[in-house]
């Protein structure tokens, strides 16, 4: 029996010739990631692993991004804990607010820290983002992070897989976000629980790297352990451009086993919106449009990249945000922020009545920088619409692409970008 792409990466990292779904393995890690919420807990657990030093100071990435710039005194203390640990342990990849920082899952690919074939864990559920680069990467908790930092290893149950065959080409206003929301709507929030989502098919060539990051990022919202894309020319070019290490290209065996196969035709997709309070509650824009909103957020590890800001700017340019809407735009990294400045996007946003923030996860998880009051509704490009996620438990979150979010900001209600740009 053959192996999936994920299984091949795991086998190599466990120094085994083959692994099978369900098998428990101890794997060597290429990178261990933490943020300002999960790292302080890991720092507390670290001494229990009886090591004075981390396993490799170059293979740990610490990113203060959730409640930064520090939102309150306690958040500042958590960042200080993380910063002190980074200094004591001489961590190479500690990122500082304003200098080289950003939202972790936009930042790490941008800095070339992850390459194809890597095995990565991160104490953040959206660590699965790097599957876009042909890496195995998955979210874990703080104790796992501490163990990873101390020993360079962790345990995994080898996942079974769902094969997602992507065909066709995207219509004008359709993006990776629409594909992944559509997929989660099809299989549910636990449809890929414990499994890997392995994307394949000719249509992948029609997905940009940013589309793929968005799709892999939300694999967790279907319960998946990871989402992974084949390494093609676009991926290799991205890795080269960002100075990543030499890639190790793994491909699924022809006789690899899949629990199920799903085909998605990009040309049949419509802009898609996930209604409260689960990412699986999806509707097409045609069913969703017309719902009055109070806030829009464009940003996050899911959709805060330059192409996300570009399409939002294209829609917003020369128009005004509806008077009753607060539109918050958050470039995901310092580099993206600067590029958006140079390209004039930030001016476009500001002139239209948007507020542009420094990079932060802030509102996505109800931290700060755009909390919702009771009864308020937001269209956001983030990844979760659980009860109370962005504020009051009686607020509502509608997940959508940057194009739908931008169009909705202009119209003041959930809107089809096609109609706003007519």
Partner 1 sequence: MKIEGSVFKYGDNVDTDVIIPARYLNTPDMGELARHCMEDIDAAFASSVKPGDIIVAGRNFGCGSSREHAPASIKAAGVSCVIASTFARIFYRNALNIGLPILECPEAAEAIAKGDRVSVDFDTGKIVDETTGKVFSAEPFPPFMQDLIRAGGLAAYMKTIE
Q: Could you list the residues that contact partner 1 (CB under 8 A)?
A: 24, 26, 37-38, 40-41, 44-45, 48-50, 66-67, 71-72, 74-75, 78, 81, 122-125, 127, 139-144, 146-147, 150-151, 155, 189-190, 193-194, 223, 225, 278, 365-367, 384, 386-389, 393
Q: Label residue 261 left, alpha or beta by phi (over 0 means left) and psi (-120 to 50 means alpha).
A: beta
Q: Do 63 and 33 touch, CB atoms closer than 8 A?
A: yes
By C-beta, is 122 or 230 nearer to partner 1?
A: 122
Side-chain half-sphere exposure of 334, counting CA atoms within 13 A: 14
Sign, Cα dihedral of 193, 198, 204, 209:
positive
The Cα 302–Cα 283 span in angstroms is 19
State in angstroms the smallest separation of the CB of 124 from partner 1. Answer: 6
Bond before 54 cis per omega within 30 degrees: no
By C-beta, is 26 or 373 nearer to partner 1?
A: 26
State in angstroms the smallest separation of the CB of 226 from partner 1. Answer: 10
Instruction: List the structure tokens of 400.
Output: 């959508």
Other CB atoms within a 10 A radius of the CB of residue 87 amount to 10
By C-beta, is 230 or 367 nearer to partner 1?
A: 367
By C-beta, is 17 or 50 nearer to partner 1?
A: 50
State in angstroms the smallest separation of the CB of 26 from partner 1. Answer: 8
Contacts of 52 (CB under 8 A, 6+ apart): none
Instruction: List the structure tokens of 328.
Output: 């918050």
By C-beta, is 230 or 304 nearer to partner 1?
A: 304
State in angstroms the smallest separation of the CB of 30 from partner 1. Answer: 18
State in angstroms the smallest separation of the CB of 363 from partner 1. Answer: 10
By C-beta, is 142 or 214 nearer to partner 1?
A: 142
Contacts of 403 (CB under 8 A, 6+ apart): 173, 175, 271, 311, 312, 315, 417
366 to 260, 275, 373: CA distances (angstroms): 35, 17, 11
State in angstroms the smallest separation of the CB of 22 from partner 1. Answer: 8
State in angstroms the smallest separation of the CB of 306 from partner 1. Answer: 26
By C-beta, is 31 or 204 nearer to partner 1?
A: 31
Lookup result for tokens 């299984």:
7
């Amino acid at each position: 029996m053959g192996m999936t792409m994920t299984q091949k990466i795991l086998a190599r990292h466990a120094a085994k010739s083959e692994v099978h779904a369900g098998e428990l393995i101890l794997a060597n890690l290429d990178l261990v990631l933490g943020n300002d919420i999960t790292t302080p807990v890991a720092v507390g657990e670290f001494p229990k692993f009886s090591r004075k030093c981390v396993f490799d100071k170059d293979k740990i990435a610490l990113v203060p991004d959730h409640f930064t710039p520090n939102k309150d005194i306690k958040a500042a203390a958590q960042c200080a804990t993380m910063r002190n640990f980074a200094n004591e342990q001489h961590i190479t990849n500690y990122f500082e607010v304003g200098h080289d920082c950003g939202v972790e899952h936009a930042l790490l690919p941008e800095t070339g820290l992850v390459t194809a074939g890597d095995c990565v864990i991160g104490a953040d559920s959206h660590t699965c983002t790097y599957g876009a680069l042909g890496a195995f990467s998955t979210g874990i908790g703080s104790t796992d992070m501490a163990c990873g930092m101390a020993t360079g290893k962790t345990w995994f149950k080898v996942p079974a897989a769902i094969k997602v065959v992507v065909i066709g080409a995207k219509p004008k206003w359709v993006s990776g976000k629409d594909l992944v929301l559509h997929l989660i709507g099809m299989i549910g929030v636990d449809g890929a629980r414990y499994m890997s989502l392995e994307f394949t098919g000719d249509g992948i060539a029609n997905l940009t790297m940013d589309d793929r990051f968005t799709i892999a990022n939300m694999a967790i919202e279907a319960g998946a352990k990871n989402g992974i894309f084949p390494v093609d020319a676009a991926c290799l070019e991205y890795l080269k451009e960002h100075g990543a290490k030499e890639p190790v290209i793994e491909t699924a065996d022809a006789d690899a086993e899949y629990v199920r196969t799903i085909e998605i035709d990009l040309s049949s997709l419509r802009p898609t919106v996930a209604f409260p309070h689960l990412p699986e509650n999806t509707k097409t824009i045609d069913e969703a449009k017309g719902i009055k909103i109070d806030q829009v957020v464009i940003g996050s590890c899911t959709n805060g990249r330059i192409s996300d800001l570009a399409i939002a700017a294209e829609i917003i340019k020369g128009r005004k945000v509806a008077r009753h809407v607060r539109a918050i735009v958050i470039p995901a990294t310092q580099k993206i922020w600067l590029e958006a400045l140079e390209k004039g996007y930030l001016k476009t946003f500001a002139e239209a009545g948007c507020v542009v923030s420094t990079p932060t996860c802030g509102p996505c998880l109800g931290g700060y920088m755009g909390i919702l009051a009771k009864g308020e509704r937001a269209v956001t490009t983030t990844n979760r619409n659980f009860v109370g996620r962005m504020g009051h438990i009686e607020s509502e979150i509608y997940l959508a692409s940057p194009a739908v979010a931008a169009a909705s900001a202009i119209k003041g209600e959930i809107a089809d970008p096609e109609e706003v740009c007519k």
